[in-house]
Amino acid sequence: MKILGYTSPARGHLFPLIPILTELRDRGHLVSVRTLAGSVDVVRSLGLSAHAVDPRIEAIEHDDFTARSAVGAVKRSTATFVKRSEFESSDLASAISSDRPELLLIDTNCWGAAAVAEASGLPWASWLPYPAPFPGKGIPPFGPGFAPAGNRQGRLRDAVLGRLITTSVARTIRPPLNAVRASIGVPELRDTREVFTRPPLTLYLTAEPFEYHRVDWPASFRLVGPVSYDPPADPPPGLAEIDRPIVLVTTSSEFQDDARLVATTLTALEDEDVFVIATLPAGDPAGIDIPANAWVEHWIPHSALLPRAACVITHGGMGATQKALSHGVPVVAVPFGRDQLEVARRVEVSGAGVRLPLRRLTAARLRAAVREATARSGRAGELAQAMNSAGGAPKAADEIEQLAATWTAGPEATVPS
């Protein structure tokens, strides 16, 4: 079977897909990918066909880190996805024409590409690498990172603010997105939840109990557990000689001005009996005052560090957080924006780490949070067992093959030119 994957220009969305694609490749399928230009060579090095998405898509950058509230950040993010959707539609149509795939895998944030997939008549699936951003029974509204309601007051909060957030986001995205969908010839969206429920299959890259228990999952959703990938790179010289517990600090692979987390950590742990290793893939280590018990690098494979890590301090990205927890390493989550407030709250609720709000980030509080999180290694180990038993890439590949085997296309299916 010929499979075409299409991703948004974000490593945090490409990297979780890579183990699924290589699993499909190893099962004999022919796999090609359209993704961000800077990662094309990485994908090709794995024996997969890869090409860059339309550069106009990458030119539309996230500016959600400039928002003054969680709701404002959600609105800015969704507006970015809408702007990209117009270029995605023609880009994916061109890729379908050249590759002639028999199945499509579409990034959940690629709304124009999803509309083309819907129109194509081909079997298609989506993958969701961050907390499900739509309402559910007993689930707090997405964005602010609320704890699940435990009383009547909390349920009232969820009802009122959930309606406010949903209405506000819908006003931002529905009219322009439905205009794109109309140009492709697929039905308009009646509510924003449909953005995530239209795919015939959604591979949700997490598992309970890290994710909240829902009683009303869409029938198309499959929780397959976390899936992660590290680009190949040599571990730094001297890693084997480090004889202290390692504290790993991760920041976002997409710029969001989170270098402050690294600087605060270095100050907080300078006199502790640990060794700090921080990565700044979207930042610049130059100008950071680095103490003797620390390294700050642009990139180090996390998989080389996590087996020796006592704690991970993270910006709350779903990929980095779940990677740590799936290794049984407790987490301190300091969310800066995007889905990170939701991820950080799940860290707290799961009991496998500590949530430290950005507005409370100081060296003293971070030092205390690391000590508290390190004491929760037992719970992190329990969570790792649950995550790793969910199936991962092999389970995702099983679901994709099942979709292809049972697919029936509608008579109206067309691929836009």
pLDDT in tens, 327-366: 999 999 999 887 899 999 999 999 999 999 999 999 999 9
E strand residue ranges, 159-215: 202-204
Residue 321 has what pLDDT?
95
The strand pairing partners of 275, in sequence order, are 246
Alpha carbon 237 to its chain centroid, in Å, reads: 30
Is the distance from CB of 332 to CB of 311 less than 8 angstroms? yes
All structural domains of the chain:
2-225+391-406 (3.40.50.2000), 239-388 (3.40.50.2000)
Residue of higher predicted confidence among 241 and 252: 241
Interatomic CA distance for residues 90 and 54, integer angstroms:
9
- Residue 117 scores a pLDDT above 50: yes
Average pLDDT over residues 139-143: 88
Output the pTM of the full model.
0.90
pLDDT tens for residues 260-305?
Answer: 899 999 999 999 999 999 988 767 777 788 999 998 888 888 888 9
- Residue 91 scores a pLDDT above 50: yes
Residue 64 has what pLDDT?
64
Query: Nearest Cα to 23, choosing from 398, 391, 393?
Result: 393
What's the pLDDT band for 136 if we cut at 50, 70, 90?
Answer: confident
